[in-house]
Amino acid sequence: MALKEIVNFFFELGMLKKTPRSGFQFLGSGRESVAEHAFRVAVIGFALARLEGAVDECRVVRLCLFHDLAESRTGDLNYVNKQYVQVREERVVRDLARTLPFGDELEELLAEFREGKSRESLLAHDSDQLDLILELKEHLDLGNRYATRWIHFARQRLKTDLGRQLAAEIVETDSTAWWFEGRDDWWTVE
């Protein structure tokens, strides 16, 4: 095993921390890196797998964790970019994977995510969209009215009943409720 190739992979993963998600330029507010996005997607995937049961939760988390791996080389393409630019993601993944002892597994995971046929891949896909919906709801709650339209389209991309149920709950929940609602004592203690 060549440890240098593993170290190079770790450095490449660092590019995801520096790669902005490009859709926010159209929304007019917000900023997030691909790595920040992938973290919450993985946690959402874990939760969906637990709620769903009868799925391989580790596989769901791995699908979520690596779903945007190719963006370390391609950057993040938003829905407008994708109308004009075609990314050869399979080539990116193949080139990256051939340097790693677990490269075959990465190729398999990312092919499964793209195909979207397994229950695990559907949950991972919904985790990706639910992260976007959460982010958009935060922007909506801060006054960006354009987020409403984006939420509408993101909800249409959901694949599972569980994803749709969670999206409905997200839309109805104030994004500050987790720390503000019913916590008056937090704000009056000196």
**Report field, pTM of the whole predicted structure over 0.85:** yes
**Whether the Cβ atoms of residue 96 and residue 12 lie closer than 8 Å to each other:** yes
pLDDT tens sequence across 17-38: 999 999 999 999 999 999 999 9
pLDDT in tens, 100-125: 999 999 999 999 999 999 999 999 99
Q: Is residue 184 part of a domain?
A: no
Determine, yes or no, domain membership for 143.
yes
CATH code (residue 165): 1.10.3210.10
Provide the β-strand partners of residue 20: 33
- The helix/strand/coil state of 105 is helix
In this prediction, residue 188 has a pLDDT band, given cuts at 50, 70 and 90, of confident
Containing structural domain, residue 150:
3-176
Q: Is residue 165 part of a domain?
A: yes
What is the SS3 assignment for 33? strand
In a domain? residue 87 = yes
What would the mean pLDDT of 66-72 be, rounded to a whole number? Answer: 97
190 occurs within a structural domain: no
CB of 123 closer than 8 Å to CB of 49:
yes
Calculated CA dihedral for residues 159, 42, 6, 32, nearest 10 degrees: 100
Closest CA to 124 of 113, 108, 110: 113
H helix or E strand, kind and range, residue 140: helix 119-141
Q: Evaluate whether residue 189 is within a structural domain.
A: no
Query: If you average pLDDT over residues 1-29, what whole number do you get?
Result: 93
Q: What is the pLDDT of residues 144-182, one digit of tens each?
A: 999 999 999 999 999 999 999 999 999 999 999 999 888
Q: How far is CA 25 from the centre of its chain?
A: 18
Q: What is the pLDDT of residue 66?
A: 97
Q: Is residue 39 part of a domain?
A: yes
- Does residue 187 lie within any of the structural domains? no
pLDDT-wise least confident of 75-79, 96-100, 180-184: 180-184
Which among 57, 69, 4, 40 is positioned nearest to 134, based on CA atoms? 40
Q: How many domains does the chain have?
A: 1
114, amino acid identity: R
pLDDT above 90 covers a percentage of the chain that reads 92
Does the structure show a pLDDT above 70 at 1?
no
How many whole angstroms separate alpha carbon 36 and alpha carbon 142?
A: 20
CA 44 to chain centre: 9
Distances (CA, A) of 101 to 13, 81, 95, 105: 16, 33, 13, 9
Q: Which residue has the tokens 């080139």?
A: 95
